[in-house]
Amino acid sequence: MNWWGWIITGAILLGAEVMFISAGFYLVVIGAAAIATGVVVLLIPGSVEWAQWAVFAVLSLTLLVGFRTRLYARLMGHTPGVKTGPVGGMFDLPKSLAPGETCQAEHAGSHWTVRNDSDSAIAAGTTVRVTSVHGLTLQIRPE
């Protein structure tokens, strides 16, 4: 393969990782290995194709094993957590509920069936916390 073929392949892999796929930096290190192989082929003209593939394989494995995890942790390890459900959310209960009773309530812009999961009655207007979700029913307890 020509040196420019390796560099174009590496650029495509880097672009695919950055623009379209979140592959955990696997394509980044393989793309970097392809670009580095292109530079080696440019500096050593006339190298045989099997040697180019061997250089690419060694560089890919070295970068994957030695640097991918550290690079990924450094760049992506400090992302904030994303809250993916209503558990832990709080809202004001619209009507009184005895233990085990249910009613309709609005939480986070959606209407839910809520169930009193505590051992005591909850008065209307009390701030409650969602402790768990069973199906489409929020289990609540007073705050």
pLDDT digits over 20-58, tens only?
777 677 888 899 999 999 999 999 988 899 999 999 999
pLDDT of residue 83: 66
Summarize pLDDT for 77-126 with one digit per residue, the tens: 666 666 667 888 899 999 999 999 999 999 888 899 999 999 999 999 99
What pLDDT score does 124 carry? Answer: 92
Residue with tokens 């459900």: 85
Are 105 and 129 members of one domain?
yes
Q: Indicate if 12 and 72 belong to the same structural domain.
A: yes
Residue 54 has a pLDDT of 96
Q: What pLDDT is attached to residue 74?
A: 77
d(CA 10, CA 45): 19
Q: Are residues 14 and 70 in the same domain?
A: yes
Distances (CA, A) of 114 to 22, 42, 105: 37, 67, 7
Asked whether residue 113 is domain-assigned, the answer is yes
Q: 110-116 and 102-107: which strand pairing?
A: antiparallel
Q: Copy the structure tokens of residue 143.
A: 């705050």
In contact, 54 and 98? CB cutoff 8 Å: no
Cα 105 to chain centroid, rounded:
31
10 and 63 part of one domain:
yes
pTM higher than 0.75: no
Of 5-19, 77-91, 128-142, least confident by mean pLDDT is 77-91
Cα separation, 34 vs 13, in Å, equals 9
pLDDT at 37: 95
pLDDT of residue 80: 67
| Containing structural domain, residue 29 | 3-76
Helix axes 26-43, 3-19, angle to 10 degrees: 160
Helix (H, G, I), strand (E, B) or coil at 113: strand
Indicate the number of domains in the chain.
2
